[in-house]
Structure 1
Amino acid sequence: MKAYLVAGVHPTIPAASGIRSYVLSLASRLASRGVAVVLIGVGPPAPVAFGEFRSVVATYPTSSYRFLRGLWRYARQCPVEEGAIVHAQRPDDLYPFLGMARGARLICTLHGDPGRGVRERRVLGRYLYGMAERRTLPAARRVISVTESGLRAYVARYPWLESKTSVIPVGVDLAAFRPSDRGAAKAAFGLHDRPTILFAGRFEPEKRVEVVIEAIRGLTQPPDLLLAGQGRLDSRMRALAGGLPVRFLGPVDRIRMPVLLSAVDALVLASSHEGLPTIVLESLACGTPVIATRVGDLSRVLEEGKTGFYFDGSPGALRDLLAMRWDSLLAMRSACARSAEPYSWDRVADRVMEVYDAAL
């Protein structure tokens, strides 16, 4: 079996991207099961252990529009073998292969609802994405949704989609993400022995990083806040954090992320919408509690008072929680690690293989 994994990511350059983590972990597990894996992505050439990397855009990072143009060129110039799997991570990324890979088996994974973010950001993008979605989803042999909530959003638009969709959550590499010595982890990042919280992700409007920054403002003894990632709002977040105990780490490589998660006392997410963020499972696997807004499928993995806390998305509510429930967080580490065990990547990869087999 040969599988082309299509995603606008680079295999070795760090980026705050749940899709990147998903694709690279899946590629590794598929290769270990005898699948010939080709990652179609972006950025400079790079060797990969799982198979082959083919870039369609030389620069990285790049926009979704450039990636799509690169995919169109690739699909015209490099025909996909008959019977091969083409597995895209967004409906619009599958669009270029509709007419250029007639003998291939098309599969799409829905990571939440990307159309929601497109509609919030771009007028033209709203039309183009909608057109691609309406054409690719009927053509896909099988569809994977990583969340129940994301599937419901799609089924509301396309009731027929449910019959060919499997809900398979994101996975976590339990060999890499596991509890480790906190003192050594703190030392690796040069952290002091004091309360520390972490945001890890893209600096984009829907992530609402400013809520986390504003929450520590006004606390008599605020925790240190680490921000791991980058995005369009980077300059604005740096200005907002002036005078506060905030440290910008930039993108953190997947190899170092388990150490970082073990070094902090809690992961904090204030997103307006999510599916099931990979970083949440990785944090829990490391024994680190999560404080988050109650969005997407988080309620399936995050248990209030046992593996973390929910808040309403306001800076004040998060500030009160940090002030009043801090001691509770420190007692959750064992429960957090246990809660991530059902999401092993080996289990997830086996289920993805079943979808591939059903598409042949």
Structure 2
Amino acid sequence: MALPHVAAFTDTYLPTVNGVTYTVETWRDRWQARGGRMDVVYPKSDHEPGAGEYPVRSLPFPFYEGFRLGMPQIPNPVKDADLVHAHTPFSLGMAGQRLARKLEVPLVASYHTPSGEYAEYVAFNGTVESVVQAGAESYERWFLDRAAVVVAPSERTADHIRETVGTDTRLEVISNGVDTDFFRPVDTAAFRERHDLPDGPLVGYTGRHGYEKCLEDILDACEGLDVTVVFGGDGPAREDLEAVAAARDLDVRFLGFLDRAELPELYAALDVFAFPSPVETQGLVALEANCCGTPVAGVDAGALSDTVHEGETGYSYPEGDLEEFRRAIERVLDEQETLSERCLARRDSVSVEHAVGRLQAVYADVLDAPRQ
């Protein structure tokens, strides 16, 4: 049976590297490898579009550096789609919703990030931030109520959608999945030499440097430990993070954006992946680190409560408790070899192949369901 033609709409895509862009790109590639067609509609950027990628006119987003706002346009090549998958509730998500309604085909909506978490980027005081956050949740509910199914990357995120957003739309939990062919243990000698990293223990993080991710907590927790702290990636909080690091008695290295080919080397080089972000909907980078044999010291909040398996893939700590964060890092360092073996034993269960298989089943189900 032929796979459906899927039109995927996203407000963030290459060259930006984050969990959403990685998921959209990887699902698209694996869907096509199965013989299906999944086109991607995204804001025009420096990314040179390949087959099945359709940029639309975009403008810089004034509140968040590097993010572009796509105009809600529908490129002609996707106007015969069998199903629309929106990876955003905003501009291009609205275009996807409009296309699904016009074609009378199912709309599937992925919930990647709680919109209210970004209220601080557009609000100038706490009162305005609270109003923006409440408005964002109402808008999310309105958007998700119009989907045939909502895809959540973790059980904890599904709980948030039910309890906070409050949509009655059917929910399916599908992990974003990890490309386990790519994210695997690799030799790290060349990476360490290239980035002038010392031979001692490395505690690090890679991903977007957003204020909501509480990355300064890593510096607080590592103060007094005999480790080098490594940050990969970039974002609006980086400059402030560098200023704080400069004032600490710590060896801290900021590597900036890394080429994707270097990510397995970074993960494998780390002894501990430190993850203090309480706002994750899955925490994909933690799973990538695990697949490279690196355990996690992560906050017991958001989706990380499900992602970090205590004593198996790392250790967790209560949100805001820096002493316990330090203790979690120390425990991972002490048990690094055993935890690493346990991380590698779980690789198949978090693979992207498993995720796309689940996605295929959900698509088939909503396409077979009576249209409303």
CA displacement 1:111-152 (0-9 Å, x = unmatched): 25x133144544475466345423322221222111111111
Structure 2 counterpart of 1:57: 58
AA paired with 1:248? Answer: F
1:295 equivalent to 2:301? Answer yes
- Contact 2:291–2:344 at 8 Å: present in 1 too? yes
Structure 2 counterpart of 1:358: 365
Supply the distance in 1 between the matched residues of 2:6 and 2:62 (Cα, whole angstroms): 24
RMSD of the TM alignment (CA)? 2.8
AA paired with 1:181? Answer: D
Shift of 1:56: 3.4
Structure 2 counterpart of 1:10: 13
SS of residue in 2 equivalent to 1:174: coil
Structure 2 counterpart of 1:171: 177
Structure 1 counterpart of 2:208: 202
Structure 2 counterpart of 1:27: 28
User: 1:120-269 to 2 correspondence within 5 Å?
Assistant: 120-121=120-121, 122=123, 123=128, 125-126=132-133, 129-130=136-137, 132-156=139-163, 157-158=165-166, 160-161=168-169, 164-219=170-225, 221=226, 223-242=227-246, 244-269=250-275
Match of 2:312 among 296, 300, 306: 306
Structure 2 counterpart of 1:327: 334
CA displacement 1:231-251 (0-9 Å, x = unmatched): 221111010000531111112
Q: Percent identity?
A: 26
- Contact 1:5–1:40 at 8 Å: present in 2 too? yes
1:81 equivalent to 2:89? Answer no
Supply the distance in 2 between the matched residues of 1:135 and 1:71 (Cα, whole angstroms): 20
- Contact 1:185–1:262 at 8 Å: present in 2 too? no
Structure 1 counterpart of 2:117: 117
Supply the distance in 2 between the matched residues of 1:2 and 1:64 (Cα, whole angstroms): 33
AA paired with 1:237? Answer: L
CA displacement 1:16-51 (0-9 Å, x = unmatched): x11111111111111112222222223124143x63
Supply the distance in 2 between the matched residues of 1:273 and 1:10 (Cα, whole angstroms): 20
CA displacement 1:136-186 (0-9 Å, x = unmatched): 22221222111111111222243522xx22111120001001112243443
Supply the distance in 1 between the matched residues of 2:54 and 2:106 (Cα, whole angstroms): 20
Supply the distance in 1 between the matched residues of 2:134 and 2:98 (Cα, whole angstroms): 20
Q: Which has the higher contact order (CA 8 A, sep 6+)?
A: 1
CA distance 1:160–1:224, shift in 2 (3 Å) = same
SS of residue in 2 equivalent to 1:194: coil
User: 1:98-109 to 2 correspondence within 5 Å?
Assistant: 98-101=97-100, 102-103=102-103, 104-109=105-110
Structure 1 counterpart of 2:88: 90
CA distance 1:331–1:206, shift in 2 (3 Å) = same
Shift of 1:53: 3.7
Supply the distance in 2 between the matched residues of 1:275 and 1:283 (Cα, whole angstroms): 17
SS of residue in 1 equivalent to 2:335: helix
Supply the distance in 1 between the matched residues of 2:56 and 2:86 (Cα, whole angstroms): 15
TM-score by length of 1: 0.86
Supply the distance in 2 between the matched residues of 1:61 and 1:281 (Cα, whole angstroms): 32
Q: Number of aligned pairs?
A: 349
Structure 1 counterpart of 2:285: 279
Supply the distance in 2 between the matched residues of 1:181 and 1:320 (Cα, whole angstroms): 28
Supply the distance in 2 between the matched residues of 1:240 and 1:181 (Cα, whole angstroms): 32
SS of residue in 2 equivalent to 1:227: strand
AA paired with 1:46? Answer: E
Supply the distance in 2 between the matched residues of 1:183 and 1:45 (Cα, whole angstroms): 31
Supply the distance in 1 between the matched residues of 2:47 and 2:63 (Cα, whole angstroms): 15
Gaps of 5+ in 2: 368-372
- Contact 1:45–1:55 at 8 Å: present in 2 too? no
- Contact 1:197–1:264 at 8 Å: present in 2 too? yes
Shift of 1:226: 0.7
CA distance 1:348–1:151, shift in 2 (3 Å) = same
